[in-house]
Amino acid sequence: MNAAARIRDYYDALRAGDPLHPFFREDETTVKFGVGEELSGYEAVAAGLRDQTATTTGWEVESRDLRVGSEGPAAWFADDVYMGWNDTEAGIRYEFDTRWSGSLLREDDEWLFTGMHVSTEVNR
């Protein structure tokens, strides 16, 4: 599997409501920044993703321009992604056009995210 396939698998897991923390490298330097969140260190990332999975449903994830580069055991990516989900605690549906970027490292023949950043444009 290459890094692009691993990213697409992550999108599929998000849509399906499957656990997401196994996609991330177990390391204190792992980070995930999302719309409204900042998680530093694998334990915080894993806890945040478990909570997200438990409190959201109805994920839509539409990749529009995935670009992936790699060299040796390192990879990086950027994508424009439409995403929407239901917040089951607040009873609200969120929908955003987002920008994703990040890095992956191949360990034991598996690509793992070391960093992920998801942002959205602020209307001016």
pLDDT tens, N- to C-terminus, the chain (124 residues): 899 999 999 999 999 999 999 999 999 999 999 988 999 999 999 999 999 999 999 999 999 999 999 999 999 999 999 999 999 999 999 999 999 999 999 999 999 999 999 999 877 5
pLDDT for residue 124: 54
Sign of CA dihedral 100, 107, 24, 27: negative
pLDDT for residue 122: 77
87 closest CA partner among 123, 37, 41, 44: 37
Q: Which domains does the chain have, with CATH numbers?
A: 3-120 (3.10.450.50)
Task: Provide the whole-model pTM.
Answer: 0.94
Helices (H), 1-124: 3-16, 42-55
